[in-house]
């Protein structure tokens, strides 16, 4: 029973550890995302209020948050109370956040830390633990960004643990202060039991106590089993076990003597045959008993099994060979498809182009292309074919071929798309279509003539150093119907402007909670990379998407193209 109680304690610890680690890791991940949003150095009161309130609204498990500057007294604190977000100024003489451990230790060590639980007198006025994350400029901490977790959430979790009838559990901090207990008057009191020892059942007066550290935290879980409840049925169960064991042993001996005389010889033969089957010989002849009893059924089953295994192995060999051929052909198709994409743009001092394509399957329907029509005009395109896999890849290669062929003498994006649409639609028995954004750029003047045919609206960063969407005029997709008239648009790209193009695989990436990555996260990621070059911008977006879609299978092809015009040298 002690072993059973120990196993139950370990299960309780495992479940509690998962809940607590989830709570702590959510705070750490949210703090990292919030920290990245301040890399632009904008610490105005409006910006800080907007970002801190947003992180508190997104997750109910967070109690409060503040950004505390090092050189200037500035620490607006936002916290929750009765479903409302309240404000408190920690940069006051009464509070003096410079002397608080949640600020001093992380700023001195310049690393993110969890504080010991404490009562935040003058701030949130609750028992809490704080995760402090330094903001650095040139490897120097200039501020501390915090996220607070109320100990009330841990108390509620502990109160749900059921142990026998009157048993209970409570939690201790690193310094052995009581964090959660059924007797709330003991919370934050010092625990002084001298028999403290981890992972072992310890007797204490009328209870058995089990201490277990929760891995990856500084928390100890203490589980109390009342002795009288734990061993209440021990005597009664012992008598039952003895009687059952005695009767069972007698019946077992009698049964073994009777049955062994009937089955020993047939079983020896079946044992030899199964040894041969284990060695790969599936053609052994079995002698069936005269009586159609269990041994006969076993013999028949083994005979059927060895024939079925033999047939299955032959079928498996054939299927394996066919699958290897298919996999080999898909690898070749993927290599051919990727080789069709341009590797780099011919040298031009006014243009920087960077692109990335990640198919959801071995081959995909997304593509991008860029090439010079003549010495002054650059044609570039990003497109998404309906569907996925091999059909979409074939349709993609045909579309790219027509696009290259028709661009030789075309300096108007609309003319090129109209001709491309009519050709594809006239030979489109599969009823597939393409969404695309095609532009023709004068690399000297910066004049951009473009058509958006049912594609996601791109982003443009110009002199105001913010990415803004380029609204489309409402052209339909390419290849659906013949004779459509596509409208083009013209703009002038300013010096140091960046054009960000993408397919819907970016915004429609799913998290494990079935949530879309969405336009807002894309816009936030782009604006967080304002000072980055094109390669770094794509890398930062990939990191943000990978963090969002962690442990989830990619659902659609992902393609990104960034064009930077008139860069400073």
For residue range 206-243, what is the model confidence (pLDDT) as tens digits?
788 888 887 656 788 888 888 777 777 666 777 888 99
pTM of the model: 0.46
Residue range 127-131: average pLDDT? 88
Residues 515, 379 within the same domain = yes
Inform me whether the pLDDT recorded for 569 exceeds 50.
no
Q: Does residue 223 belong to any structural domain of this protein? A: no
* CA–CA dist 12, 478 (Å, integer): 59
* CA–CA dist 41, 465 (Å, integer): 14
Picking from 122, 153, 184, the residue at the C-terminal end of a domain is 153
Higher per-residue confidence, 296 vs 109: 109
What is the band of 166 on the pLDDT scale with cuts at 50, 70, 90?
Answer: confident
Q: How many other C-beta atoms lie within 10 A of the C-beta of residue 365?
A: 29
Higher per-residue confidence, 522 vs 363: 522
Give residue 194's pLDDT: 65
Residues 280, 368 within the same domain = no
Residue range 192-205: average pLDDT? 78
What pLDDT digit, counting tens, does each position of 248-277 carry? 999 999 888 877 766 677 777 777 778 777
Q: How far is CA 555 from the centre of its chain?
A: 13
Q: Find the range with the poorest average confidence among 127-141, 163-177, 273-287, 457-471.
A: 273-287
Going from the C-alpha of 315 to that of each of 262, 282, 320, 515, the distances in angstroms are 39, 15, 9, 42
Residues 295, 149 within the same domain = no
Residues 121, 6 within the same domain = yes
Residues 304, 353 within the same domain = no
Tokens of 302: 């083994």
Give residue 333's pLDDT: 58
What is the band of 157 on the pLDDT scale with cuts at 50, 70, 90?
Answer: confident
State the CATH number of the domain containing residue 369.
3.60.40.10
What is the band of 537 on the pLDDT scale with cuts at 50, 70, 90?
Answer: very high
Nearest to 88 by CA among 42, 121, 135: 121
Residues 510, 425 within the same domain = yes
Inform me whether the pLDDT recorded for 566 exceeds 60.
yes
399: containing domain: 345-565
Tokens of 190: 């010092």
Q: Does residue 550 belong to any structural domain of this protein? A: yes
Q: What is the CA radius of gyration of the chain?
A: 35
Residues 485, 553 within the same domain = yes
* CA–CA dist 501, 561 (Å, integer): 5
Give residue 180's pLDDT: 80
Q: Does residue 243 belong to any structural domain of this protein? A: no
What is the band of 362 on the pLDDT scale with cuts at 50, 70, 90?
Answer: low
Q: How far is CA 531 from the centre of its chain?
A: 27
Q: Does residue 321 belong to any structural domain of this protein? A: no
Residues 285, 386 within the same domain = no
When mean pLDDT is compared over 10-14, 289-293, 462-466, the highest value belongs to: 462-466
Region label for 516, one of left (φ > 0), alpha (ψ between -120 and 50) or beta (otherwise): beta
The rounded mean pLDDT for the chain is 84
Give residue 447's pLDDT: 93
State the CATH number of the domain containing residue 303.
1.10.8.500
Instruction: Return the half-sphere exposure (C-beta side, CA atoms, 13 A cut-off) of residue 104.
Output: 6
* CA–CA dist 474, 381 (Å, integer): 18
Nearest to 126 by CA among 179, 173, 171: 179
User: What sections of 279-293 are H helices per DSSP?
Assistant: none
Higher per-residue confidence, 47 vs 2: 47
Give residue 160's pLDDT: 78
Q: Does residue 167 belong to any structural domain of this protein? A: no
Q: For the chain, how many structural domains are there in total?
A: 3
pLDDT over 70 for what percent of the chain?
A: 93
Give residue 492's pLDDT: 93
Higher per-residue confidence, 307 vs 290: 307
Residues 380, 287 within the same domain = no
Cα torsion angle, 414, 415, 418, 420, sign: negative
What pLDDT digit, counting tens, does each position of 453-483 carry? 999 999 999 888 889 999 988 899 999 899 9
Residue range 7-28: average pLDDT? 80
* CA–CA dist 173, 190 (Å, integer): 10
State the CATH number of the domain containing residue 120.
3.30.450.20
Give residue 66's pLDDT: 94
Picking from 107, 125, 153, the residue at the C-terminal end of a domain is 153
Residue range 148-172: average pLDDT? 80
Residues 19, 111 within the same domain = yes
Residue range 361-385: average pLDDT? 87
Give residue 162's pLDDT: 77
Going from the C-alpha of 431 to that of each of 336, 387, 427, 478, 504, the distances in angstroms are 24, 11, 9, 11, 20
When mean pLDDT is compared over 170-174, 338-342, 410-414, 506-510, the highest value belongs to: 506-510
Inform me whether the pLDDT recorded for 130 exceeds 80.
yes
Cβ–Cβ under 8 Å, residues 419 and 410: yes
Q: Does residue 143 belong to any structural domain of this protein? A: yes
Tokens of 363: 């081959």
Give residue 464's pLDDT: 81
Higher per-residue confidence, 9 vs 443: 443
Residues 136, 64 within the same domain = yes
Q: Does residue 108 belong to any structural domain of this protein? A: yes
Residues 380, 268 within the same domain = no
Picking from 310, 330, 356, the residue at the C-terminal end of a domain is 310
Give residue 302's pLDDT: 79
User: What sections of 353-431 are H helices per DSSP?
Assistant: 389-406, 413-426
């Amino acid at each position: 029973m002690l072993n059973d109680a120990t196993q139950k304690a370990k299960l309780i610890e495992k479940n509690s550890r998962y809940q607590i680690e989830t709570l702590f890791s959510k705070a750490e991940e949210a703090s990292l995302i919030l920290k990245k949003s301040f890399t632009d150095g904008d610490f105005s009161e409006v910006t800080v209020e907007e970002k801190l309130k947003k992180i508190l609204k997104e997750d109910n498990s967070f109690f409060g948050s503040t950004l505390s500057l090092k050189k200037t007294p500035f620490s607006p604190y936002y916290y929750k109370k009765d479903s409302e977000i309240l404000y408190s100024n920690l940069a006051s003489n009464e509070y003096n956040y410079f002397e608080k451990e949640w600020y001093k230790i992380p700023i001195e060590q310049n690393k993110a830390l969890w504080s010991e639980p404490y009562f935040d007198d003058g701030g949130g006025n609750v028992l809490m633990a704080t995760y402090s994350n330094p903001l650095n400029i040139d490897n120097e901490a200039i501020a501390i960004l915090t996220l607070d977790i109320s100990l009330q959430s841990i108390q509620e979790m502990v109160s749900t643990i059921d142990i026998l009838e009157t048993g209970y559990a409570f939690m201790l901090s690193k310094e052995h202060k009581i964090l959660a207990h059924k007797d709330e008057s003991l919370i934050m009191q010092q625990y002084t039991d001298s028999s403290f020892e981890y992972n072992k059942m310890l007797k204490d007066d009328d209870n058995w106590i089990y201490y277990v550290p929760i891995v990856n935290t500084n928390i100890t879980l203490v589980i109390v089993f009342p002795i009288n409840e734990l061993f209440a049925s021990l005597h009664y169960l012992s008598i039952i076990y003895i009687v059952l064991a005695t009767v069972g042993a007698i019946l077992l001996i009698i049964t073994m003597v009777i049955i062994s005389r009937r089955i020993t010889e047939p079983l020896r033969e079946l044992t030899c045959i199964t040894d041969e089957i284990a060695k790969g010989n599936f053609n052994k002849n079995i002698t069936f008993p005269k009586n159609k009893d269990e041994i006969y059924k076993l013999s028949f089953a083994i005979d059927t099994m060895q024939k079925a295994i033999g047939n299955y192995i032959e079928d498996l060999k054939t299927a394996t060979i066919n699958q290897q051929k298919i996999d080999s052909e898909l690898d070749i198709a993927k290599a051919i498809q990727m080789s069709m994409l341009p590797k780099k743009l011919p040298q031009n001092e006014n243009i920087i182009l960077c692109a990335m394509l990640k198919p959801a399957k071995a081959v995909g329907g997304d593509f991008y292309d860029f090439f010079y029509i003549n010495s002054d005009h650059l044609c570039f395109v990003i497109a998404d074919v309906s569907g996925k896999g091999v059909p979409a890849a074939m349709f993609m290669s045909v579309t790219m071929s027509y696009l290259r062929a028709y661009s030789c003498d075309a300096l108007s994006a609309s003319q090129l798309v109209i001709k491309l649409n009519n050709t594809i639609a006239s030979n489109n028995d599969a009823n597939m279509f393409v969404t695309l954004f095609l532009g023709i750029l004068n690399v000297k003047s910066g004049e951009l003539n473009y058509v958006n045919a049912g594609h996601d609206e791109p982003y443009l960063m110009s002199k105001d150093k913010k990415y803004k969407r380029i609204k489309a005029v409402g052209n339909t997709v390419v290849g659906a119907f013949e004779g459509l008239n596509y409208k083009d648009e013209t703009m002038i790209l300013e010096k140091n402007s960046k054009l960000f193009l993408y397919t819907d695989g970016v915004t429609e990436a799913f998290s494990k909670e079935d949530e879309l990555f969405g336009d807002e996260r894309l816009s936030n990621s782009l604006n967080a990379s304002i000072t980055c070059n094109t390669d770094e911008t794509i890398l930062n977006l990939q990191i943000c998407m990978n963090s969002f879609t962690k442990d989830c299978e990619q659902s659609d092809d992902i393609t990104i193209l960034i064009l930077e015009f008139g860069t400073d040298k």
